[in-house]
Structure 1
């Protein structure tokens, strides 16, 4: 079974160059995942791919069944997950088109099913979330970027907002004051749920636009789609290098 999964975000609903072997429908105690799991060969290694927003990109960030997605991947034997996400850039180094591998996250979401530990418990469980991302997987991504000559920002603080609307300029000012250098809508509870199930999880963030108030004029879908296209093509190179460097079980 594949031990590495890629969760694709906006602009990344399919993994180019993936030789599809089969699609698997997984039913979970938490409902249905965003789409069937796509098993395939990528760079000669087994991987599984799941589009976070559904195959046709119809599920908004606040309606994604994060619990079902992560549970399904754990159920089939996945051990490591790379979550690809389109984000807005807040910090000066996070210009559109940049790829960042964040090392911290701040959760501003609400009303989402954010934990597996809530019903029929034999004891209360608290996960250590001091370092939200798997450092070992982050380092593998950084090494993959170096080997594939993909320029990245090796750190960042991801501010996870509710969506589906974009933020106001003053909200972005607040996020910046609180330490965020990136803003997106899908980072939580995905990251925490992976930790609850003891999965290694890292985020590969593609900056699609300057966040509100950071660029010149309003944010347009034309701008977002342009930079997503550029960034995602480089993400494919990065993932290819990551897969090729995987050990025998990955």
Structure 2
């Protein structure tokens, strides 16, 4: 049973799996090609969020196919990475942050597996969007190995692929957002719908428009990720080594009300 998975976007090149094997998984939403390998003798599924060669932009990532494929492989706990821009002086360039809440400003992405009729309807609870038990495991490892991770960030997810305007950034700040990105939603929601634990480590790669004193570019993000990627890889590998397969949280029961409304 492959109970653990890493979903990586930009900047996870430093994450090393031994004995790698590429799989093909057919889902109701399309075909997915995850990688399976080993860390400390345990199997980990690695899924490149954007596909081979970073081919899919954020608004076209097949989030439902990705999460369905992991669940069908037996995955119950997902760690994810995300490049984020900082909206707050509390989260600075080059830091790692744990996401705790989100604001959803996406526009065109399918948000659920449960679309009525035979599938039923699910009003899934998102009081704690990111699994607190999985987050604690990350924080415990970070303290043990001496990598600073800041907890408590509120993430605003935008549609992309364009960067945000300064006016949008000011609005997000007023709403309480700390960091901005383009991928955590609906990924975190879909994982919860299938009863999977999910936590995301944000890598602060740039300051958002109106905060930075220069124009934003993807090249800046990529350059920032070179050092951050190494720290994130060490943190994630250490976390996977100590994770237990049991789900002691309420994530597994999140879909018990499917079809009751």
CA contact 2:10–2:222 (8 Å) conserved in 1: no
Q: 1: distance between equivalents of 2:19 and 2:82? A: 22
Shift of 1:247: 2.7
Q: Can you give the 5+ residue segments of structure 2 that lack an aligned partner in the other structure?
A: 248-261
Q: Distance in 1 between matches of 2:79 and 2:116?
A: 28
Name whichever of 221-230 and 83-92 sits farther off: 221-230
**Mapped pair 1:190 → 2:187:** yes
- Secondary structure of the 1:165 match is coil
Query: 1:30-41 counterparts in 2 under 5 A?
Result: 30-33=29-32, 36-41=33-38
Distance of 1:131 and 1:17 partners within structure 2: 30
TM-score for the superposition, normalised by structure 2:
0.90
May I ask how many residue pairs the two structures share in their alignment?
Answer: 247
Q: Distance in 1 between matches of 2:216 and 2:47?
A: 28
- Counterparts of 1:118-137 in structure 2, within 5 Å, are 118-121=115-118, 123-137=120-134
Q: Select the structure that is richer in helix.
A: 2
SS at match of 2:204: strand
Find the partner of 1:176 among 173, 176, 191: 173
Residue 19 of structure 1: aligned partner: 18
* Cross-structure match for 2:111: 114
Q: Does the residue aligned with 1:244 lie in a helix, a strand or coil?
A: helix
Judging changes above 3 Å, is the alpha-carbon distance between structure 1 residues 93 and 29 closer, same or farther for their aligned structure 2 residues?
A: same
For 2:174 and 2:214, the matched residues in 1 are separated by 22
Deviations 1:6-46 (A, max 9, x none): 0001122x45321133111001011123xx11110113321
- Which of 25, 43, 49 is matched with 2:40 structurally? 43
> Do the aligned residues in 2 keep the contact of 1:32 with 1:65 (CA within 8 Å)?
no
Task: Check the 8 A contact 2:137/2:239 in 1, yes or no.
Answer: yes
How far residue 185 of structure 1 moved from its aligned partner, in angstroms, is 0.3
Tell me, in whole angstroms, the C-alpha distance in 2 between the residues paired with 1:197 and 1:212. Answer: 35
1:208 corresponding residue in structure 2: 205
Is structure 2 residue 102 aligned with structure 1 residue 100? no
Q: Is the 8 A contact 2:130 2:198 kept in 1?
A: yes
- After the TM superposition, which of the residue ranges 40-49 and 156-165 deviates more from structure 2? 40-49
Whether contact under 8 Å (1:20, 1:38) holds in the other structure is: no
